Every structure is written in C-alpha cells, then in structure tokens.
Amino acid sequence: MSAVGVLAGALALAASGAGGESNNAAAGNSKKSGGLPQGSEPVHLNPADFSTKIDNRYWPMRPGSRWVYREGDMEGTKERVVVKVTNKTKKVANGITARVIRDTVSEGGVPVEITDDWYAQDKRGNIWYLGEYVTNYKNGKVVDHAGSFEAGVDGAQPGIAMPANPRPGLSYRQEYYKGEAEDKAAVITVGEEQVEVPFGYFKKGILMTRDLVPTEPKVQELKFYAPGVGPLLSMHTDGPGGRAALVRYTPGK
C-alpha cells in the first residue's frame, strides 16, 4: 500500500506510544536509546571519530546529491524544497568538521528559507546533526536568521539525524538548543511499509520514524526513508497536515 494507506496504522502506533516513551523513561532506558543522546543531556564527542564522508544506507550524502520535494498542506500552501549536498565543510564550535547541506525552500520561485545544515558521520555509522545557519525571507528579501544554532555554542547540543542501525523502538534526540530546537525522534517500523511518491514506488527496507517537538506538543511528523535514496516522504499528522514528497533524486558521484 502507499504511505497514505499506512497512515492509519502509523497513527495507531503513535497513539499507543510505540517508540515514544516519556522523557524520563527515554533517558533511563539504554535499550531503547541504544546509547544515542536523549533530551538535554550533554555529549562529549571526539572529532577524530567523525568524517564528512556520509554513507549511511538510509541517508547517503555524497557531494552533488540532490533531492527535490513538493510540499503542501490542506490550507493551500505549495512549496518546492531542494536539498543539495555541497562540497563545502564547516568546523563547528565543538571541534567536529561537518558536511554542509544546502536546503532551499521556495514558493512560486521566490525564496522563503535557505538553510545550511551541518552533518557528520561517526565511526559506527550514525549521522549527527551539528546545527544550521538559517536565512529567512519575506517577499524575496532577507528578514532574519532566526532558528540558527551551532553545537557547542550557548549550550546547544548535537543530535542524531539517522542512526547507524535503526530498529523499532529506538529513540534519540535530533537537536537541542533550549527553547528553540528540541526535536526528538523514534523508529516506528523497518521493512514493513510501502511508499509511493512522484519519484517512484518503494517497497523494500522502508524505514518509518516519528518526530516530536517537546516545545510544541501537538506537532507530530512521520517520515519515510528508502535505502540508497534517503528521505522519501514526510507527513504532519497535526494541524493542516503538511506533506513533502520526493519528486526527483540525483545521486552524487
């Protein structure tokens, strides 16, 4: 079935709390955390353990890779999202050198937001998210850089963008900057879903995760990833039900 078809089942899993235990339980349950960061806990990382070569099967980031998404919601918002792995790197404040990923959101050809995200992969294969520099636009003009943060600055902590070995129930922090960025995620299923997006039909090894935002308790997002490709589809199950589907993917060389 398509991702739309699995939504009801995914919502049932979410309601039952699968992979989404309370913050206290998550912090104290090493089995479900798999040793990955939780909540606001600080981590002390060795830069020598990290690389800008990112080859995690669920989100390979070879320089030149490009994903194009069509994003919209029931309120009529229609945006184009282009994610590109650049040849650039950045040494973040915690000492780790990260790969720069450029994320461009536009509406009607006019930029809404351009973000440089910083990722690096550890020796185990976990992809870490180390911060972002955000440029927000209004009517095509820069208005501010709200939402930016950098691991190691002002108490900001890195998080996990993709675990090395995702398994149902595994939970982890994606980012932490108090009051600004506190997203967390949990793996719901691996190899059980089938997803159809404009780019194609995928039925093998699909990973489904659920994202939560503690600072916005009503926000919940389901994401689907395909091995060798990366993010296929994201669906908000709150509010106007935003959805971003992969239209085109070009692997890097």
Contact (Cβ atoms closer than 8 angstroms) between residue 89 and residue 130: no
Range of the domain at 166: 3-250
The Cα–Cα gap between 247 and 51 comes to 29
Q: Is the pTM of this model over 0.95?
A: no
Contact (Cβ atoms closer than 8 angstroms) between residue 21 and residue 171: yes
Instruction: Name the residue among 126, 128, 129, 131 with its Cα closest to residue 115.
Output: 131
Q: How many CB atoms lie within 10 A of CB 12?
A: 10
The encoded tokens of residue 245 equal 């589907």
Give 197's strand partners: 200
Q: Where residue 63 sits, what CATH number does that domain have?
A: 2.40.360
pLDDT of residue 24: 41
Model pLDDT for residues 197-239, shown as the tens digit of each residue: 999 999 999 999 999 988 787 889 999 999 999 999 999 987 7
pLDDT of residue 145: 97
pLDDT of residue 31: 57
pLDDT of residue 253: 86
Question: Is it the case that residue 141 has pLDDT exceeding 80?
Answer: yes
The Cα–Cα gap between 253 and 248 comes to 16
Least confident of 25-29, 89-93, 215-219: 25-29
Question: Is it the case that residue 11 has pLDDT exceeding 70?
Answer: no
Under the banding of pLDDT at 50, 70 and 90, the label for residue 179 is confident
Mean pLDDT of the chain: 89
Distances (CA, A) of 178 to 35, 114, 153, 155, 212: 21, 22, 11, 8, 15
